Chains A and B, each alone.
Chain A
Amino acid sequence: MESDIFKVFILEDQQLDLELNKRQVRKYRPEVFFAVARNRTEFEEKLVAFQPDLVLSDYNLPDMNGLEALLYVREHLDATPFIFITGVLNDEEKVADTILSGASGYLLKENLYKLPELLATVVIQNSEVMQRREREWEQRKEQQTSLRKAIGQLREADFDERDRIIADLQKIADHLS
């Protein structure tokens, strides 16, 4: 977490539960930046753009379930830590399935006060993954910034075929974003 700010994505459709989740996360780390989704559409629109350090997800949502959310995270954000917070995941077999499917942990809503402790454990367990993601992000940023900067500098220059070269580079830059 190069920015030192903890970035947490919360998938939760109940406003009260959302606020309770936020409060517990702030107990673990006061400087936190949230993104929130209340349904599948918001989840898929915001998740990758936000690039969270960690995802907290309710299990039962109106148009998707937590396992679908977990699989989406694994597909698009690699090994980003994922924690279920739910009122119904109390069947031992279901819990085992959930963990085996790649969740970093789960918490019953009635035990929400334990979230800061769980976050501390999960962050330590996943520190290597999080550091790797930081390095990859820095590389991407460096490449894209260099390209955009070169395009900006080319606009100031004057030579034959300048506009065509800029258009070609711009196409590549837009594709990378």
Chain B
Amino acid sequence: MSKLNAIADGQIATVLANAGLTVILMTAPWDGNGIIMSSILKGFVSRYRNVSFCVADYEDSPRLTRLFNLTAPPGIIFVKDGEMVERLTGPVNASRLNELLQVAA
């Protein structure tokens, strides 16, 4: 299973400048739902090669949490060309994520 790219506050400008789709999972070690969603996203990496899949630590990335308006993990944000395309909070199942990826990728 492929890995997600680990990002933090320092990569915000890079994410916003990417013309393609970036999918960011924000989670924490104590966030059970986020750990499950991380596995789901890893399963999509090889299927959607044109999408950049990333993960950020919720507590270590205060600028990202503010930018994405996340007051608690987990959250998944789709960003394309500096625009928020989708924002999901709480647990999300694989089929729902796959539907959204097909539309946005």
Chain A residues engaging chain B, CB cutoff 8 angstroms: 2-5, 7, 22, 31-36, 46, 49-51, 134, 137, 140-141, 144-145, 147-149, 152-153, 155, 173-174, 176-177
Q: Judge whether B71 and A5 touch: CB under 8 Å.
A: no
- Bound-complex Cα distance A141 to B26 (A): 14
Taking a contact as CB atoms under 8 Å apart, the answer to whether A34 and B71 are in contact is no
Which chain A residues lie closer than 8 Å to B31 at the CB level? 148, 152
CB nearest to B59 among chain A residues: A145
A52 closest partner in B (C-beta)? B69
Once the chains are docked, how many angstroms separate the CA of A76 from the CA of B54?
31
Contact, CB under 8 Å: A174 / B90: yes
Complex CA–CA separation, A173 to B28 (angstroms):
16
Secondary structure at chain B's binding surface: helix, strand, loop or mixed? mixed
Residue of A nearest to B58 (CB): A145
Residues of B near A147 (CB, < 8 A) are 72
Nearest Cβ on chain A to B25's Cβ, whole angstroms: 15
Contact A148 B84 (CB under 8 A): no
Nearest-neighbour CB distance to chain A for B44, whole angstroms, equals: 23
Assuming the contacts A140-B71, A152-B30, asked whether A5 and B90 have C-beta atoms less than 8 A apart, the reply is no
Least CB distance, B8 to chain A, in whole angstroms: 13
Is B60 part of the binding interface, using a Cβ–Cβ cutoff of 8 Å? no
Contacts of A145 in B (CB 8 A): 58-59, 71-73
User: Which residues of the partner chain A approach B58 to less than 8 Å between Cβ atoms?
Assistant: 145
A29 to chain B, nearest CB (A): 11
With an 8 Å Cβ cutoff, the count of chain B residues facing the other chain is 27
A7 surroundings in chain B (CB, below 8 A):
67
Using Cβ atoms and an 8 Å threshold, which residues of chain B touch A176? 71-72
Tell me which residues across on chain B come within 8 A of A141, comparing CB atoms: 65-66, 70-72
Whether B32 contacts A152 by the Cβ 8 Å rule is yes
Question: Does B16 belong to the interface (CB within 8 Å)?
Answer: yes
* Set of chain A residues within 8 Å of B64, measured between Cβ atoms: 3
**A177 adjacent to B82 (CB under 8 Å):** no
Can you report 29 residue pairs joining A to B where beta carbons are below 8 Å apart? A3-B12, A4-B63, A5-B16, A5-B63, A31-B12, A31-B13, A31-B16, A33-B67, A33-B82, A34-B83, A34-B84, A35-B83, A137-B66, A140-B71, A141-B70, A141-B71, A145-B59, A145-B72, A145-B73, A148-B30, A148-B72, A148-B73, A149-B28, A149-B30, A152-B28, A152-B31, A176-B71, A176-B72, A177-B72
